[in-house]
């Protein structure tokens, strides 16, 4: 029996989960859960990195209190964001949140420096204004004092690993979200960063997911009563890489995945990057995955819209659980309107923004949580269909099964909408895919699991999934047509 502690930090919350691996089966025990709330300061929107690390230490302390022997600790987080560390190892600027406005308009300036076609040919990454490359370019253009003082750049899971074990390293799956990595060589494109006026000396050599970085630092071991011989692994540092590793798919089958949470990431698992003009035109990204795979995918705004609405309603004194919102959406009138999920990056006033979008585009305006929730879920479903069709066109093959993993896989209404809108079988689960993948990649690093196929057999043995067959498609074709018009 082996036990691995997975810290899974998303844009809304973080969890510490112990994965217990025994006899080809995996069970999970949550030991700590905490909120992840950005902090707005006069200079911008920041992640509270020190508090997040404090919460992680609290999670390790809980393991120590329960006297759970650990065979490893690993951290996964969202992508693109980073901390800059000085020569003495001190964090010299708290990490910015990717929703910070400093990168507004940066893409135009970046493409004036280097054509987008060249950037894509070198990195294969979807163009999002908050990608690490563009954050660094914005800092360079703005004369950020921390940039010339930086000795190294640590992506979020790398920063937490450094604080846990003292070794600074660049795990490759999280590095690949930066738009600075060459996916063909699986190494940094240092010349690219230099072309944007930033010294490539801040880039550390990449390490593979599953690499053993070191052991828990003595002062943390003493404070938590966990052995200082506990290994710290660079698991698949990007949460989507963990989630994809936990997809219970048939090896070699024609399947795609949606990692469903704050963001929805829809794509396929490949053996090599695809850097074609068609991939660029459809906005697909080539990120590194577990066991040397490529995650060929597209980012979609996801359940962020519903999360923000829920926060807005709570501020107005109306608290709704996600179950209540799903039930209200199920009872609401269908196909009132469709919105482009990717038009809603900035936080705040989300119900008002959705209503304004609908009225401004000549559609009926949803009222109340049920109607707004239904517009969000239907819009996500037709957006998934568009990305799925683009994926099939780019790869030249049809995807027969859509695997939905992550927290959003628990939204039964959205799962059924996806099946109806796409006409494909949807297989939903596991919900804790990121934590599951985190644990399994640690186990691959320790040698307790041989490879990715073996890891997925563990998932199939350990977690139930739900199947959603396509039903009556009446109304979906018209909704899809309206969606295509919105994004044209």
**What stretch of H or E contains 323?**
helix 322-331
Two tokens at 326?
């799903």
Closest CA relative to residue 239, chosen from 406, 24, 361, 420: 406
Torsion angle defined by CA atoms of residues 360, 364, 370 and 375, in that order, rounded to the nearest 10 degrees: -70
> Would you state the structure tokens that stand for residue 400, as one six-digit string?
């027969």
Catalytic annotation, pick one of 76, 189, 239, 420: 239
Are the C-beta atoms of 2 and 22 separated by less than 8 Å?
yes
State phi, psi for 285 to the nearest 5 degrees: -120, 150
Q: What is the spatial distance between Cα 480 and Cα 486, in angstroms, rounded to a whole number?
A: 10
- Measured from the Cβ of residue 2, the count of other Cβ atoms closer than 10 Å reads 18
Which class for 185: exposed (0-12), middle (13-18), buried (19 or more C-beta within 10 A)? exposed
Residues forming a β-bridge with 76: 8
Cα torsion angle, 75, 246, 406, 21, sign:
negative
291 a catalytic residue: no
Tokens 């080809």 correspond to what residue?
24
Closest CA to 159 of 214, 99, 77, 275: 77
Task: Return the half-sphere exposure (C-beta side, CA atoms, 13 A cut-off) of residue 200.
Answer: 13
DSSP per-residue codes, 200-248: GGGPPPEE-TTEEEEE--HHHHHHHT--TT-EEEE---BHHHHHHHT--
Cβ atoms within 10 Å of 293's Cβ, excluding its own: 18
Say which residue the tokens 């073996």 belong to.
454
- Paired tokens of 259: 């990692």
Residue 349: C-alpha distances to residues 101, 338, 341, 395, 458 (Å):
16, 18, 15, 38, 43
Q: Return the active site residues.
A: 239
């Amino acid at each position: 029996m082996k036990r691995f502690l997975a810290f899974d930090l998303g844009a809304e919350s973080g969890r510490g989960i112990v994965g217990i691996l025994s006899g080809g089966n995996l069970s999970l025990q949550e030991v700590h859960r905490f909120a992840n709330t950005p902090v707005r300061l006069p200079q911008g929107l920041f992640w509270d990195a020190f508090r997040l690390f404090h919460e992680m230490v609290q999670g390790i302390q809980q393991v120590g209190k329960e006297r759970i022997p650990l065979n490893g600790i690993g951290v996964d987080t969202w992508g693109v964001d980073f901390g800059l560390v000085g020569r003495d190892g001190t964090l010299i600027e708290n990490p910015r949140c990717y929703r910070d406005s400093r990168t507004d308009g940066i893409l135009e300036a970046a493409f004036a420096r280097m054509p987008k076609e060249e950037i894509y040919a070198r990195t294969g990454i979807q163009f999002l204004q908050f990608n690490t490359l563009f954050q660094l370019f914005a800092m360079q253009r703005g004369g950020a004092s921390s940039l010339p003082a930086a000795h190294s750049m640590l992506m979020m899971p790398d920063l937490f690993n450094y604080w846990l074990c003292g070794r600074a390293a660049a795990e490759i799956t999280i590095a690949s979200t930066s738009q600075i990595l060459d996916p063909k060589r699986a190494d940094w494109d240092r010349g690219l960063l230099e072309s944007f006026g930033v010294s490539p000396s801040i880039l550390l050599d990449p390490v593979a997911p599953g690499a053993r970085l070191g052991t828990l630092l003595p002062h943390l071991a003493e404070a938590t009563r966990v052995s200082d011989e506990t290994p710290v692994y660079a698991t698949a540092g990007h949460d989507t890489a963990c989630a994809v590793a936990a997809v219970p798919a048939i090896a070699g089958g024609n399947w795609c995945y949606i990692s469903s949470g704050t963001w929805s990431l829809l794509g396929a698992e490949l053996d090599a990057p695809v850097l074609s003009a068609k991939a660029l035109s459809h906005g697909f990204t080539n990120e590194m995955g577990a066991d040397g795979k490529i995650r060929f995918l597209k980012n979609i705004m996801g359940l962020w819209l519903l999360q923000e609405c829920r926060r807005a309603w709570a501020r107005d004194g109306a608290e709704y659980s996600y179950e209540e919102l799903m039930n209200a959406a199920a009872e609401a009138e269908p196909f009132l309107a469709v919105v482009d999920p990717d038009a809603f990056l900035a936080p705040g006033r989300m119900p008002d923004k959705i209503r304004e979008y609908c009225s401004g585009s000549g559609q009926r305006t949803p009222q109340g949580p049920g109607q707004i929730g239904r517009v969000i879920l239907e819009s996500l479903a037709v957006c998934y269909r568009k990305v799925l069709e683009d994926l099939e066109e780019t790869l030249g093959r049809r995807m027969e099964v859509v695997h939905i993993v992550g927290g959003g896989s628990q939204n039964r209404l959205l799962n059924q909408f996806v099946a109806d809108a796409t006409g494909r079988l949807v297989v939903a689960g596991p919900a804790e895919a990121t934590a599951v993948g985190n644990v399994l990649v640690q186990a691959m690093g320790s040698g307790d699991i041989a490879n990715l196929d073996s890891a997925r057999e563990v998932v199939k043995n350990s977690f139930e999934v739900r199947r959603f067959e396509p039903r009556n498609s009446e109304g979906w074709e018209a909704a899809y047509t309206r969606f295509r018009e919105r994004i044209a």
